[in-house]
Chain A
Amino acid sequence: MRPAEALRGRQVLIVEDEYFLAEDLAAYFHGVGAHVVGPAGTVADALRLVESREVDAAVLDVNLRGQHVYSVADLLQKKAVPFVFASGYGGELEPAAYADVPRCIKPVDFPTLAAVLADRMKPGKH
């Protein structure tokens, strides 16, 4: 299955504090047929969206205005929602709890990111 198909009609949460990057990501996911939730630029906004909206998958920037996104990641894990990190961090300092979460290093190639996320959404992957 091509990533575009896996994401079609799915609710994809975008968490990214850089406006233009968030907008570009949203435009890309919209372009492949996904419904974009957000984008959220803060941990608080992201948590609110995860709690109040239906979310099938998520793209998380790790550092949001100096705050770590891990509380959002924890909530997603609890809800069994697949997600990937899109970050400038290489993962060297990442808590071990997220060792098996895929990571796309910025600057992110959107099709690659979508493919990683789609793979994550395969049944039994999460």
Chain B
Amino acid sequence: MSDRISRSSDAQDADFLRLIFESATDFAVFAQDKSGNVIRWNVGAQRLLGFTEAEILGRDGDVIFTPEDRAAGAPEQERVKASSTGRSENERWHQRKDGSRFWGSGILMPLRTGDGYVKIMRDRTAQHAAELELKESEARFRLLATSIPQLVFRSHWDGSRTWGSPQWEVYAGLSNLESQGFGWLEAVHPDDRELTLARWREAQSSGEYYVEHRIRRAADGEYRWHQTRAKPAGTTPADWVGTSADVHDMRSLQDRQQILLSELQHRTRNLLALVQAIARQTLKTSTSLAEFGRQFEHRLAAMSRVQGILARTNHGPVDLREIVAAELAAHGAADLAQVEGPTASLAPNAAQAIALALHELATNAVKYGALRQSSGKLAIGWHTRQSQNENRVVLQWRESGVSIPDAPGGKRKGYGTELIERALPYQLNAITSLEFTSDGVRCTVDLPLESPT
């Protein structure tokens, strides 16, 4: 190409250049002499700057600079640079004849003759505005991305990462460089990596990425559950922007709620099973439907009382005194019995069983014993003791001054007796004794206290 040009005549060259000069209407092309006066001015220059060739020829070409730039010596600086390096490229605001401004991108070159300069310039106002807008939007994105608690990232459509917010770098302990491509997977729990990648493949068709996975918190090495979402949001559809939000505590709460719900169901079902067992036992020892109805109702009432107490302690330990007081009150004997003992915490299941046992003893006392006869006395006392490595409480029920004409008979070998003699040892690891003496009922229950956890 250069060979052919070098072989062409000077006249051809001049014609060639003149045609370019005249037809390049999208470009302002003009020449200035060394002092800045315009010596050439094309149609493009007239279109862009508003001056006709006649108006501007011989005049100072620097009028196209803004007054600020002229005051700052910008035109002179451009010329100095062009002279010393052969060219000076500049992008800046310029001013038209009518004072309106545009963003001009131009190049200034010294004429080979050394007596002036040529400038080629075009209007890039629209592109400049778009670039500014992009920069601002980029700045807004960075501000948002770096100020929210979520870990923000940018990636390609396949999940290969191009950028991670500073929060990501700190949280995962991986620099942007280390996270590049699929380096970020290092912070994802090994068991969740396959799912994490599979979801990226699926995201191609759904247009949206979503996964719940564990991300390692570098500060303490804990893998915490995160919800990660991403959408195409960059300058091209292949650019995705996403966030990872820590949902670990929320998930833990949900898990705990599930456990609580399960526990609640467990309690309810066990309670129903217990009610069923009590019904069967009561049925076995009842001689009539009326008797069954009365006894079953009273036993359910006793269950209900202890459930009420357990509800108040949120199924935590219960003080023995509270159970004793509730049973005595229910039998109208709150002021008739002598009650003495220290604080003694019972586990919920023990509290329930002891309440039922006390109910049987009190019912018997109201029917036949100390709570029926005015001469009768009832003392309920307890003390704690240490046995091997557990704390136990010894509860004693003492009736006295009771005259029971009949010898203690088989008719009292009912539910209450089996509960105290058999069920308490079986269920609570209790040691029990129950005697129907001629002076009244004596019962001792020695059982473990709630072990502090």
Which A positions have Cβ atoms within 8 angstroms of B?
Answer: 17-22, 24, 41, 63, 65-66, 87-90, 92-93, 105-108
Contacts and interface: CB of A to CB of B under 8 A. Distances in A.
B426 A19 contact: yes
Interface string B344-369: 00010100000000000000000000
B277 A20 contact: yes
Contacts of B259: 93
Given A65-B349, A88-B270, A92-B258, A21 B265 contact: no
Nearest to B426: A19
Given A41-B427, A93-B259, A18 B273 contact: yes
Pick the most buried of B273, B276, B280: most chain A CB atoms within 10 A of its CB.
Answer: B273
Given A18-B273, A107-B275, 10 more contacts: A18-B274, A18-B427, A20-B423, A65-B427, A88-B268, A88-B273, A89-B266, A106-B269, A106-B270, A107-B272
A89 B281 contact: no
Interface string B251-295: 000000011001001111110111111101100000000000000
B70 interface: no
A18 B424 CA distance: 10
Nearest to B349: A65
Pick the most buried of B266, B268, B278, B347: most chain A CB atoms within 10 A of its CB.
Answer: B266
B422 interface: yes
A17 to B, nearest CB: 6
Give the interface residue-count category, chain B.
Answer: 20 to 34
A22 B267 CA distance: 17
Interface of B is mostly: helix
Given A20-B278, A24-B277, A107-B273, A93 B423 contact: no
Contact of A89 (B262, B275, B280, B349): B262
Interface in B408-438: 419, 422-423, 426-427
A69 B347 CA distance: 20
- Pick the 8 closest A-B CB pairs, nearest first: A88-B269, A19-B423, A20-B277, A88-B266, A107-B273, A106-B273, A106-B269, A19-B426
Nearest to A41: B426
Contacts of A89: 262, 265-266
A108 B266 contact: no
Contacts of A65: 349, 427
Given A88-B270, A106-B270, A107-B276, A17 B427 contact: yes
A20 B272 contact: no
A22 B425 CA distance: 13
A90 B267 CA distance: 11
Nearest to A105: B269
Contacts of B426: 17, 19, 22, 41
A63 B266 contact: yes
A20 B415 CA distance: 10
B280 A106 contact: no
Pick the most buried of B268, B276, B281: most chain A CB atoms within 10 A of its CB.
Answer: B276
26 contacts: A17-B426, A17-B427, A18-B270, A18-B273, A18-B274, A19-B422, A19-B426, A20-B278, A20-B280, A21-B273, A21-B277, A41-B426, A88-B267, A88-B269, A88-B273, A89-B262, A89-B266, A90-B262, A90-B265, A92-B262, A93-B259, A93-B262, A105-B269, A106-B269, A106-B270, A107-B272
A21 B426 CA distance: 12
A107 B278 CA distance: 12
Contacts of B349: 65
Contacts of B419: 19-20
Pick the most buried of B258, B347, B427: most chain A CB atoms within 10 A of its CB.
Answer: B427
A67 to B, nearest CB: 12
Nearest to A40: B426
